[in-house]
Amino acid sequence: MALIRKRRLTEQQQRRIQKQQKTRQEDLDTSSDLEGLVVQHYGRQLEVQALSTPDIHPEKPVVQDGEPEPFWKEIELGSVWRCHTRTNLDLLVTGDRVKWQADPNTGLGIITAIHPRKSLLTRPDRYHKVKPVAANISLIVIVFAPLPDPAPGLIDRYLVACADADIPALLVMNKADLLKENDPLVKLLQEYQDLGYEVMQTQSDGDLTALSNRLANETVAFVGQSGVGKSTLINAIVPDAAQKTNIISENSALGQHTTTSTRLISFGEGAALIDSPGIREFGLWHLNSDKVQIGFPEIENLLGHCQFRNCTHKHEKQCALRQAAAAGEILPRRLDSYLRLIDEITEAQQKN
Ligand SMILES: Nc1nc2c(ncn2[C@@H]2O[C@H](COP(=O)(O)OP(=O)(O)O)[C@@H](O)[C@H]2O)c(=O)[nH]1
Ligand SMILES: [Mg+2]
Ligand SMILES: [Zn+2]
């Protein structure tokens, strides 16, 4: 594309641009490094959003009368650039904070360095290798609703995955308008609050101030069953979210069209990720068995207090977990979830 564009320029223009590029190359180095956020990646292509602008902006080539206007992309705060990476860099993922350089003449950028990650969401690929999905997620919003009916144990499973990734969770019960009188979901939400989790009730077309305030400055991943209202919530919080998901396919400098529309949607100082491959399956994969207990803090406290060291917590009489459940100290539902997850993992390990 750059070549085709150049051919349309006069020789004089070309010389001038080359000279400008040369001087720019010289002061490129690290002094011209910008801060950026990887908002999308597909294959080796990355999209980086500018989080800073240069102290001294590169100068747009002077156009003389009758000369065609050369391509020029201004380095603006929040602008999104298609980038390549230096080959020596680790695999980058959405959410990575990077150092990069922009070339206004081509509209392309190059990523020169990656900042240390504060968190990394991963998932196993089909060969059981761990694949990075998103970096620096600071909050996971688990959305559920009266409709579709929450799958049993799904919230607990998400909570285990959050604990495993060491990322705080916020439980959002959406579609509050569909709650019936004495709806068991209200009790469910209360139970999680009692366990120490942060919870919230929302209605997509209602007042979402509390939710948006909570999300300010966070990099958020929305998870939850399809149909609970994740996209509707995001669209309500970030009014132009729907457009933002399509920026790239429209402006693609390389003229490529992508079917992937999932990207990190930024709002103020925050950003959100929904429905991306990997996030969609987040929490649905099998976990490491010793990791499960960290998603069940109330059960973790009781482990080691059973009569038998190898207690299965299923039929033993002197089982601290079953006794606690019978005494109403822990929720039988949570114990079931816990045992189901442990069973699942043990089964998966036996297969491998
Ligand atoms: N009654 C009600 N419906 C909602 C609410 N939020 C979303 N919906 C509807 O639920 C359906 C699924 O929403 P969507 O955002 O696509 O869910 P997602 O699959 O989680 O992204 C749509 O028809 C929405 O209009 C809500 O608060 N109340
Ligand atoms: Mg959706
Ligand atoms: Zn036991």
In this predicted structure, the answer to whether residue 184 has a pLDDT above a threshold of 50 is: yes
Total H helices, total E strands in the chain: 12, 13
The pLDDT of residue 43 is 67
Ligand nearest to the CA of 228: 1
242 ligand 1 Cβ < 6 A: no
222 ligand 1 Cβ < 6 A: no
Q: What is the mean pLDDT of residues 95-107?
A: 94
In the sheet with 169-173, reading across from the earlier edge strand, the strands are: 198-201, 169-173, 139-144, 219-223, 270-274, 265-267
The pLDDT of residue 3 is 45
DSSP assigned state of 94 = B
The partner residues of 170 in beta bridges, in order of sequence, read 141, 198
What tokens does 352 get? Answer: 């491998």
Give the percent of the chain with pLDDT over 70. Answer: 83
The pLDDT of residue 67 is 86
In this predicted structure, the answer to whether residue 183 has a pLDDT above a threshold of 60 is: yes
226 ligand 1 Cβ < 6 A: yes
The pLDDT of residue 246 is 45
In this predicted structure, the answer to whether residue 4 has a pLDDT above a threshold of 50 is: no
Ligand nearest to the CA of 323: 3
Which position has the token pair 């009781």? Answer: 302
The partner residues of 81 in beta bridges, in order of sequence, read 48
In this predicted structure, the answer to whether residue 199 has a pLDDT above a threshold of 80 is: yes
CA distance 295 to 159: 6
Average pLDDT, the chain: 84
236 ligand 1 Cβ < 6 A: no
123 ligand 1 Cβ < 6 A: no
Give the percent of the chain with pLDDT over 90. Answer: 54
The pLDDT of residue 197 is 97
pLDDT category at 64 given cuts 50, 70, 90 is confident
Q: Which atom of ligand 1 is nearest to the CA of 204?
A: 27
Task: Kindly give, in sequence order, each residue whose CB lies less than 8 Å from that of residue 94, ignoring residues fewer than 6 positions away.
Answer: 38, 39, 40, 41, 133, 134, 135, 263, 264, 273, 276
Question: Which letter, b or e, does each residue of 213-246 get, where b requires 16 or more Cβ atoms within 10 Å of its Cβ?
Answer: ebbeebbbbbbbeeebbbbebbbbbbeebeebbe
232 ligand 1 Cβ < 6 A: yes
- Which of these, 136, 155, 57, 165, lies nearest to 102 by C-alpha position? 57
Q: Which atom of ligand 1 is nearest to the CA of 176?
A: 27
The pLDDT of residue 17 is 63
Task: Kindly give, in sequence order, each residue whose CB lies less than 8 Å from that of residue 351, ignoring residues fewer than 6 positions away.
Answer: none
73 ligand 1 Cβ < 6 A: no
Ligand nearest to the CA of 262: 2
Q: Cα of 156 to ligand 1 centre, how many Å?
A: 22
The pLDDT of residue 31 is 65
What tokens does 326 get? Answer: 């019978």
Determine which residue's CA is closest to atom 2 belonging to ligand 1: 175
What tokens does 19 get? Answer: 């000279």
pLDDT category at 245 given cuts 50, 70, 90 is low
pLDDT digits (tens, 9 = 90+) for 103-162: 999 999 999 999 999 999 887 777 777 788 899 999 999 999 999 999 888 999 999 989
The pLDDT of residue 282 is 73
227 ligand 1 Cβ < 6 A: yes
Q: What is the mean pLDDT of residues 6-16?
A: 63
Cβ-contact 135, 120 below 8 angstroms: yes
> What predicted TM-score, i.e. pTM, was given to this entire model?
0.83
- Least confident stretch, 17-26, 146-155, 195-204, 280-289: 17-26
pLDDT digits (tens, 9 = 90+) for 147-172: 999 988 899 999 998 998 899 999 99
Determine which residue's CA is closest to atom 14 belonging to ligand 1: 229
The pLDDT of residue 206 is 97
88 burial type by CB count under 10 A (0-12 exposed, 13-18 middle, 19+ buried): exposed
Determine which residue's CA is closest to atom 11 belonging to ligand 1: 227
Q: What is the mean pLDDT of residues 229-243?
A: 84
Determine which residue's CA is closest to atom 12 belonging to ligand 1: 227
Q: What is the mean pLDDT of residues 272-298?
A: 79
The pLDDT of residue 28 is 47
Handedness of CA 45, 260, 254, 252 (dihedral sign): negative
pLDDT digits (tens, 9 = 90+) for 20-55: 655 544 444 566 799 999 998 876 779 999 999 998
In this predicted structure, the answer to whether residue 94 has a pLDDT above a threshold of 50 is: yes
Q: Cα of 145 to ligand 2 centre, how many Å?
A: 14
